[in-house]
């Protein structure tokens, strides 16, 4: 193939002026043929280059996305569907993602392994489900008495959290990113009134992550179940209590039909971050513009989920109250004990696992810094804005 430089040179050549000499006419004819062939070669090369660029731009990718959530479940289950639709639209159909709910390809708690191995290119779930594989993973969902949603997003995106998260997942062939947050959750559903910490003794409660460790230390037994199994487990007595998300989701699951008392606040999950995990090879196969689209769409869905829960929760809470649910605050005594146990659990995990220690040091430093400002901003404002009559369940 003729090189681009030679093509440009030959395209600037001018044929000799015609003469009456037959020999010169022959030379001229040959020369014109050479120039014509060179120009044809140049056009072919340019066309090939254009075609190659076009092939890259038009290459399409089809991914499978597996989730830990029931199909189209409000908030959590809809978020991956919204993400897939947004990516397809932003990429003009070059990256198409088919969403599979829990159990369609793999069980809910096998999402991590499925994406790590390449069975699916991408997954949507919560990092604390992988505690058995990675002890530090729960730090990227929520920490008892830790950061709220606004603060968690700040730590991840501007406080070094995301870099630590990717370092933690790199040995598993995964790239994580935030893709949702439910905001401060409720404390949980119980079929008996709670007065002291002793009321936890003997209870089997669905409560994952670090919150589950704290609950077990307080005298109960933590059980890790995906959302789709909670109702039946409560109904049949496999568990005695459960925390899931917040009124918006809990009403949809019908927990008011299997439990009487609904406690707040969600000390165990004050700002739970939901994750996307992407297979490293799948991510690396994308051109730069598509990786930018994936990351931008994840950021959009991350905020969109928080907006949705903020908007829907109180309406759902009012409906639960109408249906006779008793909405109670945790007694101060219980909260005080849980806070103390939480500090012990975090310290012990940090002592056992160097990566946990490294990540928690970053997390805790950020918490202290942001708390100092929020004392005179968010917290101070809430105190002057809210009255007891604004809270459902208070007279």
386 — pLDDT class (breaks 50, 70, 90): confident
Structure pTM? 0.84
97-111, 285-299, 374-388: least confident range:
374-388
Tell me if residue 19 falls in helix, strand or coil: coil
7 — pLDDT class (breaks 50, 70, 90): very low
Q: Say if CB 204 and CB 243 are below 8 A apart.
A: no
pLDDT in the model for residue 11: 40
Kindly tell me if the per-residue pLDDT of 351 is higher than 50.
yes
pLDDT in the model for residue 33: 46
391 — pLDDT class (breaks 50, 70, 90): low
Residue that wins the pLDDT comparison between 288 and 49: 288
pLDDT in the model for residue 289: 97
Q: So what CATH class is 188-271+323-390?
A: alpha beta
Q: Say if CB 38 and CB 11 are below 8 A apart.
A: yes
Q: Say if CB 20 and CB 33 are below 8 A apart.
A: no
Distance CA(187)–CA(207), nearest Å, equals: 10
58 — pLDDT class (breaks 50, 70, 90): confident
Alpha carbon distances (Å) from 95 to 139, 145, 198, 296, 321 = 31, 39, 53, 14, 44
Tell me if residue 276 falls in helix, strand or coil: strand
pLDDT in tens, 214-258: 999 999 999 999 999 999 999 999 999 999 999 999 999 999 999
Tell me if residue 61 falls in helix, strand or coil: strand
**What's the whole-number mean pLDDT along residues 137-145?**
98
| Region for 166 from its dihedrals, namely left if φ exceeds 0, alpha if ψ lies in -120 to 50, beta otherwise | alpha
- Pairing relationship of beta strands 122-125 and 273-279 according to DSSP bridges: antiparallel
DSSP letter, residue 59: -
**What's the whole-number mean pLDDT along residues 80-84?**
98
| Other residues' Cβ atoms within 10 Å of the Cβ of residue 62 | 9
Tell me if residue 326 falls in helix, strand or coil: strand
Strands laid side by side in the 61-67 sheet: 95-100, 61-67, 122-125, 273-279, 174-181
Kindly tell me if the per-residue pLDDT of 390 is higher than 80.
no
**What's the whole-number mean pLDDT along residues 185-201?**
97
Kindly tell me if the per-residue pLDDT of 271 is higher than 70.
yes
pLDDT in tens, 355-371: 999 999 999 999 999 99
Kindly tell me if the per-residue pLDDT of 126 is higher than 60.
yes
Strands laid side by side in the 221-223 sheet: 221-223, 204-206, 241-242, 188-190, 261-264, 326-329
pLDDT in the model for residue 55: 53
Distance CA(235)–CA(241), nearest Å, equals: 10
pLDDT in the model for residue 121: 98
Nearest CA to 36 among 70, 7, 79?
7
- Percent of the chain past pLDDT 90, that is, above it, reads 82
Kindly tell me if the per-residue pLDDT of 336 is higher than 70.
yes
Handedness of CA 52, 57, 60, 61 (dihedral sign): positive
Distance CA(310)–CA(150), nearest Å, equals: 12
Q: Please tell me the CATH superfamily of domain 59-182+272-308, with its number.
A: Bacterial extracellular solute-binding protein, family 7 (3.40.190.170)
Kindly tell me if the per-residue pLDDT of 8 is higher than 90.
no
Tell me if residue 15 falls in helix, strand or coil: coil
3-state SS, 283-321, equals HHCCCHHHHHHHHHHHHHHHHHHHHHHHHHHHHHHHHHH
pLDDT in the model for residue 35: 44
Q: Which two tokens stand for residue 204?
A: 């089997």
Q: Domain residues of the chain, as ranges?
A: 1-18+26-42, 59-182+272-308, 188-271+323-390
pLDDT in the model for residue 14: 42
């Amino acid at each position: 193939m003729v090189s681009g430089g030679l093509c440009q040179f030959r395209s600037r050549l001018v044929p000799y002026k015609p003469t009456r000499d037959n020999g010169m006419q022959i030379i001229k004819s040959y020369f014109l043929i050479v120039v014509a062939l060179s120009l044809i070669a140049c056009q072919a090369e340019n066309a090939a280059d254009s075609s190659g660029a076009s092939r890259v731009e038009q290459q399409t990718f089809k991914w499978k996305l597996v989730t830990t959530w029931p199909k189209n479940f409000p908030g959590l289950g809809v978020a991956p569907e919204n993400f897939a639709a947004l990516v397809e639209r932003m990429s003009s159909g070059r990256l198409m993602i088919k969403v599979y709910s829990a159990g369609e390809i793999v069980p809910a708690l096998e999402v991590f392994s499925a994406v790590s191995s390449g069975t699916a290119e991408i997954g949507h779930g919560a990092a604390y489900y992988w505690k058995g594989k990675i002890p530090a993973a729960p730090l990227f969902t929520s920490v008892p008495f830790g950061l709220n949603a606004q603060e968690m997003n700040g730590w991840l995106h501007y406080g070094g959290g995301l870099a630590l998260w990717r370092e933690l997942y790199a040995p598993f062939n995964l790239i994580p990113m935030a893709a949702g947050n439910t905001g401060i959750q409720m404390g949980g559903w119980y079929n008996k009134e709670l007065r002291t910490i002793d009321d936890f003794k003997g209870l089997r409660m669905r409560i994952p992550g670090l919150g589950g460790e704290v609950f077990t230390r307080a005298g109960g037994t933590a059980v890790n179940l995906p959302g789709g199994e909670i109702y039946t487990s409560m109904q049949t007595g496999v568990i005695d209590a459960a925390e899931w998300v917040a009124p918006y989701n809990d009403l949809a699951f019908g927990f008011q039909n299997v439990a009487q008392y609904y406690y707040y606040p969600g000390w165990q999950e004050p700002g739970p971050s939901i994750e996307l995990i992407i297979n490293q090879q799948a991510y690396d196969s994308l051109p730069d513009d598509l990786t930018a689209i994936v990351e931008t769409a994840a950021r959009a869905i991350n905020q969109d989920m928080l907006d949705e829960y903020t908007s829907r929760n109180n309406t759902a809470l009012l409906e639960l109250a109408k249906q006779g649910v008793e909405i109670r605050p945790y007694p101060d005594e219980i909260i005080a004990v849980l806070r103390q146990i939480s500090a012990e659990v975090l310290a012990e995990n940090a002592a056992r696992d160097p990566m946990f220690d490294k990540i928690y040091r970053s997390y805790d430093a950020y918490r202290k810094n942001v708390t100092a400002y929020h004392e005179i901003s968010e917290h101070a404002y809430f105190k002057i804005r809210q009255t007891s009559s604004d809270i459902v369940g208070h007279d």
